[in-house]
Structure 1
Amino acid sequence: MPGQVGATRGLQHPPAGGDSERGAAPGMLEEPQGLPGMLEEPQGLPGARQEAGEDGSPPGARQEAGEEGSPPPGSPDPPQGKNIVPGIVYLGHIPPRFRPRHVRNLLSVHGEVGRIFLQPEERFVRQRKKKAGAKAKSYTEGWVEFRDKRVAKLVAASLHNTPMGTRRRSRFHYDLWNIKYLHRFRWPHLSERLAYERQVRQQRLRAEISQAKRETSFYLRSVETSQRFARRAAAAPAPAEERSWGFVQRPTEEEIQRRKAGAGGRRLRGQLAKAREIQLKSQTSRSLLAKIFNAADAASEEAPGGPDL
Structure 2
Amino acid sequence: MSAADEALVRLGSLLKEQGYSFTTVTPATHQRVNDRPGNAWAHDLRDVFGWSRPFRAGVLPPQLLGLLEEAGAVRREGEAMRSMVRFSTYDDELFVHSAFPTVAADAVFFGPDTYRMADAASACLAARTAPVRRAVDIGCGTGAGAIAVAKRRPDADVLAIDINDTALRYARVNAALAGTGRVFPCRSDLLSDVPGRFDLIISNPPFMRDPMGRTYRDGGGAGGDQLTLAVLDAAIERLAPGGTLVLFSGTGIVAGEDPLRAAFEKRLAGTDLGWAYREVDPDVYDEELDTEVYADAERIAVVVLTADRPR
Higher strand share: 2
Fold shared, TM-score > 0.5 on shorter chain = no
Higher helix share: 1
Question: Which is greater in Rg?
Answer: 1
TM-score category of the 2 structures, normalised to the smaller one: under 0.3
What TM-score, normalized to structure 2?
0.21
What TM-score, normalized to structure 1?
0.21
